[in-house]
Amino acid sequence: MSSKTAAELFAKGKDALFNDHTYLARVCFENALNEERTPAYCSYFALALAKSRGDFERAIKLSDESIAAEPDNSEHYLIRGRILLLAGQRQEAIDVFRAGVQIDRHPEILRELESLGTRGKPVIASLPRNHPLNKFLGIVFARLGLRQPVLHDDQAVKH
């Protein structure tokens, strides 16, 4: 196989992955990776591996390798975050997406963050998030469509 063939396999694998043909994508990426080990091939193979086999441990190691090789490529962070979501590690995925956005405002990372949503700050910052008063005020403010103000220790709650 040549580098050109590896690139063709990679392109075919991306097409298969975006059309939810994860097994075909995994085979294409694996063959491309066997021919030429690039960070992009590692990343996409890791995602296909996580989707098709649920081998999250190996997928995370491969995505670590990609990020280490190209730490300024936000696409590796996007893929790593998606792998973490598949593995059920939501908060870790959010952290990775945020790291990726700091490198480049990748539109797909922004979409992922938007779809995941982030929790607003507690209404009364001096109380724990799970305090009944914070829960109640958060629900009320959300239903009213009001922005949640953050009250600090030095601010009094006015009734």
9-55: pLDDT as tens digits = 999 999 999 999 999 999 999 999 999 999 999 999 999 999 999 99
pTM listed for this prediction? 0.74
What residue ranges define each of the domains in the chain, with the CATH number in brackets? Answer: 3-116 (1.25.40.10), 119-159 (no CATH)
Give the separation between CA 84 and CA 77, rounded to whole angstroms: 10
Query: What does each of the 159 residues of the chain score in pLDDT, given as a tens digit?
Result: 578 899 999 999 999 999 999 999 999 999 999 999 999 999 999 999 999 999 999 999 999 999 999 999 999 999 999 999 999 999 999 999 999 999 998 999 999 998 887 666 788 889 888 899 988 888 888 788 775 434 333 333 333
Q: Is 49 exposed, middle or buried (0-12, 13-18, 19+ CB in 10 A)?
A: buried
Give the separation between CA 155 and CA 26, rounded to whole angstroms: 56
CA dihedral 41, 42, 44, 45 (to 10 degrees): 100
CA 14, distance to chain mean position in Å, is 18
H-helix or E-strand containing 95?
Answer: helix 90-103
What confidence tens digit (pLDDT) does each residue in 11-24 have? 999 999 999 999 99
